[in-house]
Chains A and B, each alone.
Chain A
């Protein structure tokens, strides 16, 4: 679930809505695929407007904030094994163990993951990662900014991570052997997860769009800055000269 802090959510909503947080990237904000990206952005906007928003509003209408928080916890809990596998692939054995411990504790004591018992009572905070981070750890470059249909801002590496993580999802594996069950469980799970994530960021995205003169560029800038920033632990990504009038988009 996205947290309520407006500022954080306003800016990081895009990145959070696409996939796991990236850790290594080094591209600038040039946009060689701009005409394609803008066309996909327009399509996504219509999809959000006529499908995601009405469905998300319906979901909000029939649930309380507390219920949504617990539902969000449950969806998030399902992804803990994905974090565990990827931490292992990144050589982070201890972190991988913590992810599995979180999954075990929250699935049992946390009542199917609806309560974050591990995070609040066992000092095991969530530590998200994904195959995007794993590829970054292995030295794969990020590639250019691309706008994915239905998903939103991404890069080739983030897209590869998203696809790999969807195959590593426990719900996928649990239903993979029976096509009938797979169709009835996995796809509704993916759709429901999308609604839960979209609902939590819907208001801030609306607010951002309302106050933006070019929302596509705002999304792209925030997404790329967030990824570039996470690639470095210091101030490099945002310590640019502010007296410079030339270096812009």
Chain B
């Protein structure tokens, strides 16, 4: 009896896990990343417009494609729970502004590059999937860039970018939580430091 119960439990668990993986439209997620990278390359990087216009277009695309509210909450780690509503709002806004600024200054690095899509890999998290791409390099092996995509209804959003196996959100989380920890748990100190980088 006990064996039957355990077997049923395991079966239920694995069925739930399968449902969690199957609830994502992997093809749709891949198409979303494909369209986003295409737009980035054609409408921004290779477009014959001023640098200011390029930066405007990039900011719009970046904010539409990434779920910076979700990422911002994740990178604050356990300090999200202890943060006041005002601190949360202030942090998310600053994090959004900083990322938009930093990446709008970096996107030209992609000039002459293209993404080759290599299918998707399921995630253990419900409603999420990894879209695998490689970027051929002038020399040596291509760079791997994996996009972690979250589906909410018919909407897709990027919640992590993994480059050469390095998760950018995890790197941010480690950095920010270490900073807060080394500043006596002061979240405002982190926000103030991030703001200095916006200038």
Interface residues of A in 112-147 (CB under 8 A from B): 116, 119, 125-126
Contacts of A222 in B (CB 8 A): 166, 171
Partner of A248, one of B121, B173, B194: B173
Partner of B171, one of A6, A221, A230: A221
Give A236's nearest chain B residue, CB to CB.
B124
Give B122's nearest chain A residue, CB to CB.
A235
* B140 engages A3 (CB within 8 Å): yes
CA distance A221 to B168 in the complex (A): 10
Name the interface size band of chain B.
35 or more
* A214 engages B124 (CB within 8 Å): no
Interface pick from B10-18, B26-34, B53-61, B76-84:
B76-84
* B178 engages A5 (CB within 8 Å): no
Chain B positions 33 through 47: 1 when the CB is less than 8 Å from some CB of chain A, otherwise 0: 000000000000000
Task: Say whether A27 faces chain B, with CB atoms less than 8 Å apart.
Answer: no
Interface residues of A in 193-244 (CB under 8 A from B): 207, 210-214, 217-218, 220-222, 225-226, 228-230, 234-235, 237-243
Partner of B138, one of A4, A226, A234, A248: A4
Give A231's nearest chain B residue, CB to CB.
B165
CB contacts between A and B, total, < 8 Å: 143
Q: Given that A221-B170, A240-B170 are contacting pairs, would A3 and B197 also be in contact in the complex, using a CB cutoff of 8 Å?
A: no
Contacts of B197 in A (CB 8 A): 210-211
A residues within 8 Å of B by Cβ?
1, 3-12, 29, 116, 119, 125-126, 207, 210-214, 217-218, 220-222, 225-226, 228-230, 234-235, 237-243, 245-249
**CB-defined A-B contacts under 8 Å, sample of 13:** A6-B110, A7-B163, A11-B171, A12-B164, A214-B182, A218-B171, A218-B174, A221-B174, A241-B125, A242-B128, A242-B169, A245-B81, A249-B178
B residues within 8 Å of A by Cβ?
70, 74, 77-78, 80-81, 98, 102, 106, 109-110, 113, 121, 123-125, 128, 130, 135, 137-141, 143, 145-146, 148, 159-171, 173-179, 181-182, 190, 193-194, 197
